Structure 1
């Protein structure tokens, strides 16, 4: 019989759960004291734990951490009030499987318990693959699987699973959400997922890139304008907020909005009404606002770039998307997905990645995150002749990344002028290789190191690297192509 440990300082809640679970063939042990529950746990092993978020003598987080330290696969559920969903997320980040909100509903309790138990068994019974079997799996990339929540691709890493749990947690509410993440990490996809799992799912989802809005036209794009309100306003325009009425608006890179727009936005958030540019009538709004930023908005408020009162209005809930380089388990998972959709787009049949490509993908830092990975896979599929993606189809910075780390120092260059990188003081290795006095080879080596240094300084943006080295972009591409040919000889 499945043994359930219930921890809640409300005696009536313990009694209610005991009677209900026993009727459904569970063995129940309950405590109103968290410390007594921990003392019992040291000598016993439950199959699942239901723990109230707030206890009188110890926090639910501390109980979770102590129990998970001895049994990482233990299914742990949080019991919480609706007003404490943000606190529940913090505990879920530490390994809780899910949460149950008060008032409790029998069907929800049973379903959540069964799912948690199944997940715990899956973790416990997950086989440890040998190096040989891992290599075999990697080489057979057509067998790469990916999960989808409707149109949303789900990565297997624990960090990504935690993001999904947070989405599930906040989606049914009407909270404003801040999504933090680097460029290309999938902030808009997460915002869309929140919308599709909310009560507004059948209403519009409008996404706006605030970084692309010009200062002069930002107010018009967001709030609309009346005919004749400014030079060039030949017709009435409905703004993005009005288009999103009833649904969700997503403001990407919101910190880029000017101070004047932030003032107007604050009124929208506070009063749930807006006025078109040049208009005289207020328009009532029922819009959920999700914003995103690649920098912490609190830091932006301290630097005077973002209004603190607006920040607090948005900061009802936040989700942080880790960069792809910190989610190694997701790299080949998403690469496999991008491979499949690119095959459909290009009507090709590239079915796998070579082991060298897999190693290169896993060693690379992915400055552009999922967006960069998608573009690399699309390019590689286009360039591939057979059914396997090889190293020769990958960009220079990926195939040479280990050499870049070997040749280039970790500390930043002392000057912004890249020509200094070719001097003896800036070089990390001598241009003349051991046993060789070939002047042409020495010149190529020095040039090679200079280009690598330039690429590294600008995060591998080739246009910026060319400008830094005072050459045109075409010349840089020709140089890179030349080095790739030399490297593949």
Structure 2
């Protein structure tokens, strides 16, 4: 069941949206301020969606979106707008960083349909084959440097690590960066069982 975070100071609209989303099979969480919204956003699982009013007592949707980007959260944000003209809507979507908008007066008709466009199954599995996910940490930068250094040589390499830590993906990346990239590639996987003392 996907979680949907609703950030809206209107108690009645929050209750109405929560009811609509619950009936549609979602698990809504309601926050009435940006501050509370940040706390709840930090708990959201992958596949969640955020629905927020453009203006709240302690900030704007833009502030919440900027905070999400700073914290490396990539939840789609649907902005609840009042009566905006088309130019304002473009500004909210492109400059404001919202994924989509809903007019407040059409919440009961458009909310569930709009959320469905962005909510992803909570238990969906991301399959990357032998691809590595890029990371920003300093430790990861060192691993990338070692991958490039090893790939530039003709040496054999042994990769150690915990089960599921990505050893095969690192080996494949070394192969892709090497001069052997166009030659046949075979995976050799060794299972090492630790001795119990």
Q: TM-score, normalised by structure 1?
A: 0.24
Which consecutive unaligned segments of at least 5 residues does structure 1 have? 131-489
Q: 1:95 to 1:25 in 2, by over 3 A?
A: same
Residue of structure 2 equivalent to 1:51: 52
Provide the C-alpha distance between the structure 1 equivalents of 2:27 and 2:16, rounded to a whole number of angstroms.
14
Within-5 A mapping of 1:58-77: 58-77=59-78
Q: 1:98 to 1:126 in 2, by over 3 A?
A: farther
SS in 1 for 2:59: coil
Contact 1:81 1:101 in 2 (8 A): yes
Residue of structure 1 equivalent to 2:5: 5
Which consecutive unaligned segments of at least 5 residues does structure 2 have? 132-197
Bigger radius of gyration: 1
Provide the C-alpha distance between the structure 2 equivalents of 1:83 and 1:34, rounded to a whole number of angstroms.
22
Q: TM-score, normalised by structure 2?
A: 0.55
Structure 1 residue 12, shift from structure 2 partner: 0.9
SS in 1 for 2:78: strand
Residue of structure 2 equivalent to 1:428: none
Q: 1:58 to 1:72 in 2, by over 3 A?
A: same
Structure 1 residue 87, shift from structure 2 partner: 4.1
Provide the C-alpha distance between the structure 1 equivalents of 2:110 and 2:87, rounded to a whole number of angstroms.
20
Residue of structure 1 equivalent to 2:106: 104
1:117 aligns with 2:119: yes
Provide the C-alpha distance between the structure 2 equivalents of 1:88 and 1:78, rounded to a whole number of angstroms.
10
Structure 1 residue 70, shift from structure 2 partner: 2.8
Provide the C-alpha distance between the structure 2 equivalents of 1:77 and 1:126, rounded to a whole number of angstroms.
27
Structure 1 residue 126, shift from structure 2 partner: 8.6
Structure 1 residue 72, shift from structure 2 partner: 4.5
Q: 1:129 to 1:32 in 2, by over 3 A?
A: same
Provide the C-alpha distance between the structure 2 equivalents of 1:67 and 1:41, rounded to a whole number of angstroms.
8
Contact 2:20 2:112 in 1 (8 A): no
Residue of structure 2 equivalent to 1:306: none
Contact 2:53 2:79 in 1 (8 A): yes
CA shift digits 1:92-125 (9 cap, x unpaired): 225321001121244422221111225xx99x95
Q: 1:86 to 1:31 in 2, by over 3 A?
A: farther
Measured on the aligned residues, the alpha-carbon RMSD in Å equals 3.1
Q: 1:71 to 1:85 in 2, by over 3 A?
A: farther
Contact 2:2 2:119 in 1 (8 A): no
Structure 1 residue 88, shift from structure 2 partner: 4.2
